Structure formats: C-alpha cells, structure tokens
Structure 1
Amino acid sequence: MSTTPLSSEQISELAQALSSARKEVRIVDGFPGPIPSTLKEAYTVQDGSIAASDQEIVGWKVGMIPPDLRDSLGDVRVLGPVFKDVHIQLTEKQATGEAFELPVFAGGFIAIEPELVVEINQEIKPGSIDTAKGVTHLVKSVYAGIEMASSPVIDLNSYGPTAIISDIGNQYGVIVGTEIENWETAITTMETSTSINGELINTAPTDGILNGPMAALAFMIDCCAERGITLPAGAICSTGAITGVHETLVGATSTVKFGDICEMNFTLVDNSKS
C-alpha cells in the first residue's frame, strides 16, 4: 500500500486499468498500479470504474475490513456496486435444488460467499436517514443469497481493503434465492452451510455477521450518503459473508443451504465463454 497520496492522473489510470480488464475479460497478474492508502482514495478509484461501466447499478455489496486494519483505515466495512448484468434472480426450482451455472473470471480471483440479501422499500437520498435510529423499517424483503467475488486480478484480496474497493469491491454477481418469511425471527435459528466439490466447508448461524445484517444495511446507506449516491426503491444490499470467503476455481461445484428454505446447487464456469 502506498503512503503517498495518489495524483488525479494515477487514480484515473488505475480506474481505467481495472475497468478495462473486466470489460475485456483479461486476467491481470498483480495489482495494476499503486494501491490507494486511504478509503477515500479507493472510493474515488471505484467511482472512476463505475463511470467507465455502461451497466446500471441495482445495489451494493458490503464486505468486512480485517480487524487489524480497522483503526488505521477508520472503518469496519467496505462497499462495492452490484451491476445489473451480474444480478441473478433464481427461479423457484433453482432456489430449491435445480442446478445452474455462474460465470466467473477463469484464472482470476474467485470466491463463494453465502449472504443475506436485503431489498429496500423506498428511495433513500443522501442524508435523509439517521441510521443510528435503526433501519429495519426500510426493509422490503430479505432473501437467501450468494455473492460471487471474482476479479481479473489473480490475487486481489492479498492487497487489502483499498485494493478491493478500487476493483468495485471484488464483486461479480449477487444471486438472489428464496425470500425469507418472518426474517427477523427466522434468521436467529437458521444455519447456513457451504459445500464445494462435495466437501462441507463451513456451517454458521445465518445472522452471525458482525452486529447482524441491519448493521451492513446501515453502512450501505451511510457510505452512499457520504458519496452523494441516492439509493432507489428496490435496491439490494448483499450484507456480508456468513460462512466465510471461500476461494475456489472454475469447474468447481458448490451447494449453499439456508436452513431448509433454500438450496442452491451451481457450477462455476468461464465468463469468457458465456
């Protein structure tokens, strides 16, 4: 990570390098420029990547900053856009076991992250919500879901949170499964599990992310407000990895279960061939 502030030219070049690698489905061996030293710089790079995309943003993914970096960076979470072309609403059959395929950057970074996906019920303009008073009233629905973390940068996560933010939060898909009825109580007794290639990787409480999914939703609202971003009604928030960030490869098969309400069986495929 650089300790010298990035110039506007460096920020622009980094945004262009990251966004063009995604557009061209071109694998990058190493982070393509200086790593931003602050969250502000990283989000400025992300803004450039968003501007270079021709895709509509339908929501945001929320991830965690490792505990040992939270004081120095001044936050506990990171944010990245979810573009419409990688937002997948499963059919009822796919959300109850029918197999499907998910495209990722073959040879790049790939990880599976089971997550609760929250849909908001109203437009939220910057500064219009005091999240300290709670955000549950803003929830339209909560779904069982998956975030696919995938990037053309082979070892993106090893460069830290500012690199992840710069490359749109290492985001390449939010998969929306079954709506969770009575979610506030249901998730308190539900477990989520992840299996890859037939091996159970982890099982964890569905509400087990730091301070719960509403903390992630509040972070999304506050971070977007700071950046002057209006959240439209229906926007989604992928609230954070429940069982962990599970790195894997193209060709892997996986099963993600949310209690007995949702079972998602999928195979990871090369996005350059889809």
Structure 2
Amino acid sequence: MPATNEQQNIAQAFLAARQKKTPLTSYPGTMPASMAEAYAIQDAAIASDGRRVGGWKVGRIAPELVGAYGDNRLTGPVFSDEIFDGSAGQRPIMPVYADGFAAAEAEVLLCLGDVGTRDYDLESVKDCIIEVRTGIEIASSPFPAINQHGPAVTASDYGNNKGLILGPAISGWRDADLIRMPVEFFVDDAPVGAATMETMLDGPFGSALFLIRTLRARGIAIAPGTWVSTGAITGIHEIRPGQRGDALFDGKIRVGCAVTG
C-alpha cells in the first residue's frame, strides 16, 4: 500500500534519527496498527535511504499476537554496507544506537539464488538456496521501546535491524539435521542462551517461504545473492557498546562480533 503523508513523515523521522545517531524518546507519529501500515512506512524509508538492500531479516511474531496481525513473522531490510564477513575468525565491529535499543541474535543465514516466479513449499524452497551459513544479526533502533509496542512498530523501523555478520558455512546443509543443531550464545564469554531451531515455527526454510511470499506481495524483487537472516534461535540478547557477542553452532562453528556505539 502507498504510504500516507503521516507514514512518510514517520519514515523520515526514523531515517533522520538513524543518520544523526540521535535517540527517539517517543514514536514519531501514530503507531501502525497493521503489518500493511508498517511495511508502507518501511518501504518509504527504504526508498528515501537509497542504499542497496543486500538481505532481509525475519523475526517471529508472538503467538498471542498472530491473530491480530495476520501473520507469524515480520521482516526488515539489511543494507549491503552493513553486512560483514566473519567466516574466517574475524570479529567485525558492529555499531549500535547506544541510547536506543541494541541486541545480538544467533541465526542461520540463507543465500538465495534465482527465486523466479514459481511457487514453493518447505522442501522445494531449498532449490533456490545456494548457501547456508551461521551468523549473527545485530538488532538496533534509535527508538529504545521499539519491541514494546507490537510487531508493526518493530517492522516500521527496518524491522529493528542494524547489520549482519556472515559466519562460516554449514557444509552438507541439505543432509544436515539443522532443526536439532545445538546453538549457544555468549556475551563477553558469559552464556546467555541455548536452544535448537525446533523452537522456530517451521524452521529456517519456513522463514525463506515467508520472505518470498511477503516480498512478492509488496512488489519487491529478490535479487540473486540476497541473504535471509531466518530468526533468533537462542533469543534476543541485549548488548551494549564495548561488549562482545559470540554464537556457537553444533559445538564447533563459531562466529563473533564486537559492539560499538
């Protein structure tokens, strides 16, 4: 849906706050009441931002809110200049909004090839995936309360995304039991979460299906090489400038980052 004048103003307010690195103490307008309204704000911001989108984050909508918002996931753009390689032991330095919200999440990352126009199911969607990696999503917004007002508010500011770290690839992913792979997360070497992808609805490939459906409905083309950050596995772990985040997959594949303000 086209953005209204107020939705355009909200998009501009978030964009200015992100560019100037200034906090928003309150939501800059009427909060969106639906995902369609949220994506109208998001689309207006993407158009004004002008940077190339290199991927999309996918997040879960709480079960008790699915009926009200009509879906069980949300999405937001990941810009190409905020995607960093951490596959060879590098620890990228990831900026966050120190006076806003900031968190790090262990995620499985899917790289899409040619998606085309065909319909997919949970098995066939693997045909358009060319690589699977471990990774970390950095969630950050200049609005500190972004996650306290429901998924539409979260989606309206780029889905609360501020970057992505591409960790080592998962070799043999087609035959691997990804759903049961143990994943742990650490902040400054202290364990803060552990889980498997069994908690992620229909798993990472379900996130890919959701994204393809949602972007097609919004008229957004999916370029080959697009990354999909498929959802937090061990939780949303708040993190502050000066701290380090590390994710450990299958007890042996590690990806990390350092956070700065």
TM over 0.5: yes
Match 1:24 to one of 7, 20, 25: 20
Counterparts of 1:243 and 1:141 in 2: how far apart (Å)? 22
Moved more, 227-236 or 197-206: 197-206
Amino acid in the other structure paired with 1:26: T
The answer on 1:223 being equivalent to 2:219 is no
The answer on 1:210 being equivalent to 2:210 is no
The answer on whether the counterparts of 2:182 and 2:251 sit within 8 Å (CA) in structure 1 is: no
Moved more, 182-191 or 28-37: 182-191
Where structure 2 has 5 or more consecutive residues not aligned to the other structure, the ranges are none
Counterparts of 1:65 and 1:267 in 2: how far apart (Å)? 28
1:106 alignment counterpart: 98
Where structure 1 has 5 or more consecutive residues not aligned to the other structure, the ranges are 1-5
Question: Once the two structures are aligned, what percentage of the paired residues are identical?
Answer: 33
5 Å-filtered alignment, 1:28-47, equals 28-47=24-43
5 Å-filtered alignment, 1:121-270, equals 121-124=113-116, 128-132=117-121, 134-184=124-174, 185-206=176-197, 208-270=199-261
SS in 2 for 1:201: strand
Q: How many residues align?
A: 258
Counterparts of 2:256 and 2:25 in 1: how far apart (Å)? 30
Alignment deviations for residues 247-270 of structure 1 (CA, whole Å, 9 cap, x no partner): 122122222111244212332101
Amino acid in the other structure paired with 1:263: R
Counterparts of 2:206 and 2:152 in 1: how far apart (Å)? 21
SS in 1 for 2:99: coil
SS in 2 for 1:15: helix
| Shift, 1:91, TM fit | 4.4
Amino acid in the other structure paired with 1:108: G
The answer on whether the counterparts of 1:27 and 1:108 sit within 8 Å (CA) in structure 2 is: yes
| Shift, 1:74, TM fit | 0.5
| Shift, 1:207, TM fit | 5.3
The answer on whether the counterparts of 1:206 and 1:258 sit within 8 Å (CA) in structure 2 is: no
Amino acid in the other structure paired with 1:173: G
Amino acid in the other structure paired with 2:70: G
